[in-house]
Amino acid sequence: MPETTKTRTPLGRLALAWGIGGFALTAALAGGMSLAAQGIARHDSRAPVTYDAGKFVLDDRGNQAIASGGVIVTQAGLRVQSDRMLVNFTDAGGQLEIQRITATGGVIITRGDERASGDSAVYDFGRRIITMAGNVALRRGSDTLNGGRLVIDLDSGLSTVDGSAAGGSSATPGQPSRGGRVTGTFAVPQGEKKN
C-alpha cells in the first residue's frame, strides 16, 4: 500500500499526499478501500479527447482554441467541465495534438466516485499533471479534503492538496478558511460494538 506523508512548513501549509486510486489514508483508516477504485489519479491521459461546448473558436496561427458556454471535455472516463477552456495544441503534420487545457469558471473534474472542484485547472498533457487552484474541494464518497491547490501527477498516482495557492483563496464554500490549511473528514470503520 502506498505510504501517506504529512509535511508541515514554517508557513503553516499542510500538504497531504495519497497514492494511486485516491485517498490511501482513508484506505488505511477504513481498512480496505479497493486500489482498483476509479479515482482521478488512475486516469489514462493518452486516450482521445472529446469536446462539447456552446462555442468553439479555433486559432490555427496561434495554435490554440477557445471553448465557451458550458464546456465539457471527456477522456477515458475523466470528465472536465467549466465555463471556459483554452486549449493549446501543436500541429503534427495535419493532426492536432493537445498540449494543455486551461479551464476557468466553476471547474469540476470527475472520474468514478471521485470529484474535484475549484476556480481553475490546468491539464498539462506532456507532463501528465492536473493542477487545480482556488477553493479546491476533493470528494470520494463521504471522504473530503478542502484546500487552496490540488496537484495530481498521473504518472506516479500521487496527489497533493496544499492549504493555499498563489493568487487563490483557500476558503471553500460552506467551509471557513483555516488560514492556509487543509481541512477534511475521513470515514472510519463502524464494526460491531463490544460490551
Quick one: how many helices (H) and strands (E) in the chain? 1, 12
Annotation: CATH topology of 5-29+49-172: lipopolysaccharide transport protein A fold (2.60.450)
Q: What does the block give as the cell for 148?
A: 487552496
What pTM value is reported for the model? 0.70
Residue (of 176, 182, 148, 187) closest to 7 by Cα position: 182
Phi first, then psi, for residue 110 (nearest 5°) are: -130, 150
pLDDT tens, N- to C-terminus, the chain (195 residues): 344 433 333 322 223 333 323 333 333 333 222 233 346 777 787 889 999 999 999 998 899 999 999 999 999 989 999 999 999 999 878 788 999 999 999 999 998 888 999 999 999 999 999 999 999 999 988 888 899 999 988 888 888 888 876 534 444 444 444 568 888 888 888 877 766
Q: For the chain, give every domain's residue range.
A: 5-29+49-172
